[in-house]
Amino acid sequence: MRDLLEENELKKKNRRADIINILLSAIIVLLVVVIVTLLFFLTPMTVSGQSMYPTYDEGDRILLSKVGYTLERGDIVVFKIPDNDNPPIKRIIGMPGDVIFFDLGTMDYTVNGEKLDDFASETGYSAEYFYNADRAVIDALTTTGLTVGENELFVLGDNRNVSKDSHVYGCIDMDWIVGKVILNY
């Protein structure tokens, strides 16, 4: 009888150990999946600055898709600029082949001859809007229009007066894209 009790007790201990091993294995697998997903597919970030206000404010948390996305006008992307450690977040206004024009009279952007359905905040444009801009970019935008290159995007912040974007430095290379914003949390 005593042997039977000891055997039952041993079986219970083995079952507990098996359950603990299964749970630990599941936790380890889950952690590996989360780490791989964050390293290769998704990236959480914190918005820095006011260039996308009111869409995103300083300190807002966003989630980027790093692979498997398509880009369209109106999408919001994060990208790296050479010689800049802080990746900007901007809205795509122009796709490859688009012609972007800024009308100084109406203070409106047009894309391929059509007025942009603007995402910009209601602040309007200040007299300093083109102050820091590259002269060639200003000339193209305000005269003949700036044509977006084959592997390029024209991006603007929603809070135009404080945003340093394509109106300042021209089109960005698609290879600079870190990811597309898919979630604000």
| Domain coordinates in residue numbering, the chain | 1-40, 44-184
Average pLDDT, the chain: 90
Residue/partner pairs of 70-75 with CB below 8 Å, 24 or more apart: 71/95, 71/153, 71/174, 71/177, 71/180, 73/98, 73/111, 74/119, 75/180, 75/181
The DSSP bridge partners found for residue 79 are: 177
Look at domain 44-184 and name its CATH class.
Answer: mainly beta
> Average of pLDDT values for 64-88?
91
Chain Cα centroid distance, residue 114: 26
Catalytic residue among 48, 51, 66, 180: 51
Identified catalytic residue from 12, 48, 66, 90: 90
The pLDDT tens digits for 86-101 are: 899 999 999 999 999 9
- The answer to whether residue 126 is catalytic is no
Instruction: Please give the structure tokens belonging to residue 68.
Output: 């498997």
Tell me, what's the pLDDT at 38? 80
